[in-house]
Amino acid sequence: MKKFKEFTADLEIASPGRINLIGEHIDYNGGHVLPAAIDKTIHFKFKKRNDNKIHVQSNGFDESLIIEIKNLKKSSILWHNYLIGVLFYINELCSEKITGFDCNFISNVPIGSGVSSSAALECGFAKGINELFNLKLSNDQIISICQRAEHNFAGTKCGIMDQYAVINGTYNHFLLLNCQTISHELVPGNLLNHTIILLNTNISHNLSSSEYNIRTQECQSALKTIQTKYPDYKFLCDIPIDIITGFKEILSTEQYNRAIFTSQENQRTLNAVNYLKAGTINQLGKLLYESHNGLKNLYEVSCNELDFLVEFTSNISEVSGARMMGGGFGGCTINLVRNDYIEKFIELISDAYFNKFNIDLTPHIVKINDGVKIIKT
């Protein structure tokens, strides 16, 4: 990796990754999700230039991005496309207002682990450009810009959750995000004597992007079929289980299973909020296990490594709950672990995982933190 050229920044931005406690794969189905920003961040530095060139570099990648705002086109390098997409859609709204600038970033957000490093990259970059050139874009506009960049330049048809949580994250609070109204309720992150630990499998089966888009299509097809008889339902998550079961012989097996999962997962998310507010962490943990079983058997986005980690925790009384988190086919599990058992838990599960797969497990102890913020102007 190249050591990048340092400069005295005009502006610095911290952009976090995010977790999602529960409510997986339902943000694009009109459901409720329960994300939070975390204390793993991408740190951006920005400085205006005297020309129209945009230089972006990172100590994590060899390939710098050098481009001009009037000549934006897709790159063969994926991380470039997140940023090019952001530039493209900002320029649509604020034509002629962006000139050249330098941008460096360093990150401790795990890549490909389900904590939305892509949204952290997009949102931090967009927020920095907004502040650097005083564009006065609202947070909602920035969220939309970043989601469209991911859809149309990176090729992943994501829902709104990732960008929303990265922008709106609030210290020590989960966001109960209604993905229909795009509004949220703050839910205190009171986990009592438990800590959130992410376990990164350090594997990717290279299916997440393509299969993510296939799941989106399957859900849309299921919704359209059900709407032929029940046109008032606009979102798959709103359709009751008893109506979905009436279409079992009409929908494909995959469409039927995806629809059942989305309805169940949406209700689990709402139940999880009640358990958080009541401080019943064991009940919350049971919902996480139920969520994983649904993601494994109905949504079919898990893999052997994720299943092993979740099953391993099910016999440990000091772990209240665990499930896979993110798009699937690799990445992280999220675990609710009693505070006095963290060190022992990490040791036990790391050894077991290595003995099973001959792969090192990477644990991340995370705390709930604020969303994107300016740290220097």
Q: Distance between CA 370 and CA 366 in Å, rounded?
A: 13
Half-sphere exposure of 255 (CA within 13 A, CB side): 18
Considering only CA atoms, which of 292, 271, 269, 267 is closest in space to residue 280? Answer: 271
Q: Residue 154 carries which DSSP code?
A: I
Q: The tokens 């949102």 sit on which residue?
A: 123
Query: Which residues have CB under 8 Å from 347's CB, separation 6+?
Result: none
Q: Distance between CA 285 and CA 288 in Å, rounded?
A: 5
Q: Distance between CA 321 and CA 243 in Å, rounded?
A: 30
321, 287 Cβ separation under 8 angstroms: yes
Helix ranges (H only) for 49-116 are 78-93
From start to end of 225-329, where are the E strands?
319-325
Tell me the backbone φ, ψ of residue 14, rounded to 5 degrees: -110, 125
- Catalytic hit among 10, 39, 140, 162: 162
Which residues on neighbouring strands pair with residue 102, listed in sequence order? 47, 55
162 is catalytic: yes
Residue 77 has which token pair?
């390098």
Give the 3-state secondary structure of residue 280: coil
**Torsional class of 300: left (φ above 0), alpha (ψ -120 to 50), beta (otherwise):** left
Q: Distance between CA 116 and CA 30 in Å, rounded?
A: 19
The number of residues making up the chain comes to: 377
Terminal C-alpha separation, the chain: 29
Which residues are known catalytic residues?
Answer: 162
